[in-house]
Amino acid sequence: MRGKEVIASLKEFISDDTLIVSSNGNVSRQAYNFLPQPQVYLRGSMGLPMSIGLGLALAQPEKQVLVITGDGNFLMGLSSMTTIGNYKPPNLKIIILDNAIYATTGGQETVSSTVDYLKLLEGFGIQHYGSLNSIKSPSKLLEAFEILLTSKQTTVLHINVEEDIENLENIPWQPKEIKNKFMEKI
């Protein structure tokens, strides 16, 4: 499956009490197009979606915070996972959409394929659902989403997705509008 198909299939698991933070570039455009609005759509701050999710999870402990991040963003912000591993807000969930490329900037390879994500997450002391290969076993996705979003502890789901460098249209909302709409819904 492609990243956008994975994101679209998340839809039925998203309630009014789910707050989504999506990483810059394609991932946030896909979240904007395929998931209930409004959410936190990042235009920049590459590497920071997990930190923003941590802050949001601490401020809104009654809500589920779901961070959807590309592999490039995740690797850039890797050290923030140590902070998350230390504080572990139970309502913070992270999905890594690993296409092993910087799709947004034209599909240049990332070094993601070097990483053993499960060992990495274990090293951080973070609960993980496992690594899913959406290409080989798409049917397991829905079960994984259910577990992730009902889990009572910080949980990460790493998903290998197909390369897809098709760019969606830019998000039409101005950043300030994104903030205002999101904060009005809480």
Partner 1 sequence: MIKSIDILNYLSENNFELSTGVPCSYFKELLIELDKSADIQYIAATREDEAVGIACGYYLGKKNCFLIIQNSGLATIGDAFTSLAQLYEIPLLIFVSYRGLEPDKTFPEHVIMGNVTEAVLNAYGIPYWNMKGENWRKILDEALERMKEDSSVVCILVEKGVII
- The footprint of partner 1 (CB under 8 A) covers 19, 21, 24, 40, 42-60, 77, 79-80, 82-83, 86-87, 175-176, 178-179, 182-183, 186
Q: Could you tell me the CA-to-CA distances from 170 to 27, 30, 70 in Å, in that order?
A: 11, 10, 17
| 25 is a site residue for ligand TPP (CB under 6 A) | yes
Nearer to Mg ion, 116 or 143 (CB): 116
CB of 54 to ligand TPP, least distance (A): 18
CB of 141 to partner 1, least distance (A): 26
What is d(CA 115, CA 111) in angstroms, rounded to the nearest whole number?
8
Q: Which of 79, 82, 86, 105 binds ligand TPP (CB under 6 A)?
A: 105
Number of residues that this document lists for the chain = 186
Residues whose CB is less than 8 angstroms from the CB of residue 18 and which lie 6 or more positions away in sequence, other chains included: 63, 64, 65, 66, 149
| 7 is a site residue for ligand TPP (CB under 6 A) | no
What is d(CA 116, CA 171) in angstroms, rounded to the nearest whole number?
33
Among residues 135, 5, 151, the alpha carbon closest in space to that of 66 is found at 151
**Do residues 73 and 28 touch, judged by C-beta distance below 8 A?**
no
Q: Which of 22, 91, 104, 134 binds ligand TPP (CB under 6 A)?
A: 104
51 binds, among Mg ion, partner 1, ligand TPP, none (CB under 5 to 8 A by kind): partner 1
52 binds, among partner 1, Mg ion, ligand TPP, none (CB under 5 to 8 A by kind): partner 1
Among residues 166, 182, 165, the alpha carbon closest in space to that of 174 is found at 182
| 77 is a site residue for ligand TPP (CB under 6 A) | no
| 80 is a site residue for ligand TPP (CB under 6 A) | no
What is d(CA 147, CA 84) in angstroms, rounded to the nearest whole number?
19
Q: Which residues bind ligand TPP (CB under 6 A)?
A: 23-27, 44, 46, 70-73, 99, 101-105, 110
